[in-house]
A and B are shown apart, each in its own frame.
Chain A
Amino acid sequence: MASSMLWASRAASYLRISVFHRGFSTVLKDLKYADSHEWVKVEGNSATIGITDHAQDHLGDVVYVELPEVGAAVKQGESFGAVESVKATSDVNSPVSGKVVEVNEELSGSPAKVNSSPYDNGWIIKVEMKDAGELKNLMDSEEYSKFCEEEDSKH
């Protein structure tokens, strides 16, 4: 499957046509989502953060992840790092405010985990949350699915 998709992508490039995206993206229940396409998994006061399947699909192959320092402060809606894909760096924004307690060092050697496993091995940072009340500003899985459909249908 992966090799046929790679062939299709290269054929599209040769024929100079744009590669279509999948008509759907995986969205997991029990996660919360930001409108900038990051997800957060909350366990007590700890939040694990990454980018969604929708985001990784639209960004393309991730070749580099810029990680913050452990101990850095993050703020809801603001950039804490970036991913590089194709020819672009794209900001990754934090869905919650708090302090970075762990970063996924494996992404330094294997940035493609963000594509292959965006909700699991492709997690980017873990944060000690400052204010759990901020979670109400985020979308649940149903709202986020609808948000992605609306966004894709507008373009």
Chain B
Amino acid sequence: LVTTASRPSSRRCTCSRPPLPSHAPAPGRRFLARRPSFRHFPACHHILSITAAACCTDSCSLPTLLQVKYDLYGVRSCVINALAYLAQGKENPNWNSGSDSKMLIPQTKNIGLPLMNLMRFKGLPILQQLHIEEQLLRTSSENWCIVNDGTNDPTIVMGVSGKPAELLEIESVLDDQVPVIRRFTGGGTVIVDHGTVFVTFICNKEAVPNLQPYPRPIMSWSSSLYSKVFQGIGDFHLRENDYVFGNHKFGGNAQSITKNRWIHHTSFLWDFNVQNMSYLKHPKRAPAYRSARSHLDFICRMKDYMPRSTFMDKTVEATETQFSLRPIQLEAIRTCSEAEFCPSSRFLTNEELEAAAVALQS
């Protein structure tokens, strides 16, 4: 704890000693509006003033009971701030924020939670999102949450082992020049656009207590987080690795697991264009609960259950129950250069798609 040289405070005293800044609440309020910074708050001063005053025979130095209570609040605040500083490596900014007393509570709850950086985008191209994710997975040692509210152009995104001939109506894709990406994570094929909301978690393997870094435990953890988001809404649950309302899929998941870290990302169908689904074939590897239903009978729109901004806000809130979130701008992270990390997610070329179509016909 940082303390300043302490001089006994004078409370309702007529002696010549000058009063020190009081951390008494504003008139008409019972508690401090803002938690004082521990660097500017002489905690020991208050401890000493209570002790010294107790020994003083001068009646003007005796603290009132109310002042003792405020001193104790001050000491408590100082200790909490110091712990938060040690846990997060930074000062609680609330001292200068002018915020009201409600800000005291969230900071108290975040103590001891692992730190997670939060990046929010709107309309970031999906390939750029995938590049950022792969770079953070492979080169960062911190935890990350990325929320991308829609992507720009309709794009098909296949998993790492996806075969275009099996998964896509290649002729239509080529005729309409729909971009096709092979991403670095596993899983199936999606077509994404401005109606898709993406949420990604990138974590060190120790970030979530008692979580084994394997596909099913990570999937189970993620579904428990989203259960908080969709509590009481639409019979939400995880069904064979998909997020569903009832038996209709609205969220697809994929993961990549390295030696010490993992990524779990989800594309949520807040809305979709019916016509776009015609570019995708019925996959060979489909979950049993799909029961051979067509795309349109199998999937549903999240917009029928929850407003878009509500979903993103509730997801951040649910994440805050397990992590201390720190907003980060894209410019703050290093950009990829040839000498550093090169991501593997990429567009498939027209030649590759044409070759796949020819191989299918032969």
A interface residue numbers (CB < 8 A to B): 10, 13-14, 16, 18-19, 36, 58-60, 63-64, 66, 77, 79, 82, 84-91, 93, 151-152, 154-155
**Judging by beta carbons under 8 Å apart, are B259 and A86 in contact?**
no
Q: How far is the CB of B2 from chain A (nearest CB, A)?
A: 38
Residue of B220, B256, B259 touching A88 (CB-CB under 8 A):
B256
State whether the Cβ of B254 lies closer than 8 Å to any Cβ in chain A: yes
B198: shortest Cβ distance to chain A, in Å? 15
B217 and A155 within 8 A (CB): yes
- Binary per-residue interface labels of chain B (194-222) against chain A in the complex, 1 for a CB within 8 Å, 0 otherwise: 00000000000000001110111111100
B285 within 8 A of A: yes
| Known A63-B285, A151-B212, A155-B211; contact A87-B253, beta-carbon cutoff 8 A | yes
Select B257's contact among A14, A63, A91, A151, beta carbons within 8 Å.
A91
B288 an interface residue at 8 Å Cβ cutoff?
A: yes
Cross-chain contact B212 with A89 (CB below 8 angstroms): no
B155 within 8 A of A: no
> Given B184, B186, B214, B239, which contacts A13 in the complex, CB threshold below 8 Å?
B239
Chain A's nearest CB lies how many Å from the CB of B207?
14
Kindly state whether residue B95 has any CB partner on chain A within 8 Å: no
B159 sits at the interface (CB 8 A): yes
Q: Is the CB of B259 within 8 A of A85?
A: no
Name the residue of chain B whose CB is nearest to the CB of A19: B216
Say which residue of B216, B238, B259 sits within 8 Å of A77 (CB atoms).
B259
Q: Decide yes or no whether B185 CB sits under 8 A from chain A.
A: yes
- A88 and B239 CA atoms in complex are apart in Å by 16
Q: Are A13 and B240 in contact (CB under 8 A)?
A: yes
> What bracket does the count of chain B residues touching chain A fall in?
20 to 34
Q: Closest approach, in angstroms, between the C-beta of A60 and any C-beta of chain B? A: 6
Other A-B contacts than A16-B238, A79-B259, A86-B215, 8 sampled, CB-CB below 8 A, are: A64-B186, A84-B159, A88-B214, A88-B215, A91-B259, A151-B212, A155-B210, A155-B217
A155 touching B289, Cβ below 8 Å: no
Question: What's the minimum C-beta distance from B46 to chain A, rounded to whole angstroms?
Answer: 43
Nearest chain B residue, comparing its CB with the CB of A152:
B212
* B187 at interface, CB cutoff 8 A: yes
By beta carbon, the residue of chain B nearest A16 is B237
Contact A89 B259 (CB under 8 A): no
Tally inter-chain residue pairs, CB-CB below 8 A.
86
Q: Which of A14, A16, A36, A86 contacts B186 (CB 8 A)?
A: A86
B251-269 CB mask vs A (1 if < 8 Å, else 0) is 0011111110000000000
Residues of B within 8 A of A91 (CB): 257-259
B residues sitting closer than 8 Å to A (CB atoms) are: 159-161, 184-188, 210-212, 214-220, 237-241, 253-259, 285, 288-289
* B214, B256, B289: the one within 8 Å of A89 (CB): B256
Chain B residues contacting A89 (CB-CB under 8 Å) are 160, 184-186, 255-257
Complex A-B: 12 CB contacts under 8 Å: A13-B288, A18-B216, A66-B160, A84-B159, A87-B186, A87-B187, A87-B215, A88-B215, A88-B257, A89-B255, A89-B257, A155-B211
Residues on A with beta carbons closer than 8 Å to the beta carbon of B237: 16
Hey, which chain A residues are within 8 Å of B216, CB to CB? 18-19, 58, 60, 86
CB pair B241 A86 closer than 8 Å: yes
Q: Is B160 touching A154 in the complex (CB atoms < 8 A)?
A: no
Tell me whether B259 and A36 are in contact (CB under 8 A): yes
A90 contacts B257, C-beta separation under 8 Å:
yes
Complex-state Cα separation, A82 to B185, whole angstroms: 10
Residue of B nearest to A93 (CB): B259
Residues B257 and A16 in contact, CB atoms below 8 Å apart: no
The minimal Cβ–Cβ distance linking A154 to chain B, given in whole angstroms, is 7
Q: How far is the CA of A60 from the CA of B238 in the complex (A)?
A: 17
Q: Are A155 and B259 in contact (CB under 8 A)?
A: no
Of the candidates A13, A77, A88, A89, the one having the most CB atoms from chain B within 10 angstroms of its own CB is A88
Q: Which 5 A-B pairs have the closest CB atoms?
A: A64-B161, A88-B255, A87-B187, A88-B215, A86-B215
Distance, CA A71 to CA B241, complexed state (A):
37
- Docked pose: A112 CA to B259 CA in angstroms: 22
Shortest Cβ distance from B72 into chain A, in angstroms? Answer: 40
CB-nearest residue of chain A to B188: A87
Roughly how many angstroms separate A58 CA and B217 CA in the complex, as a whole number?
Answer: 9
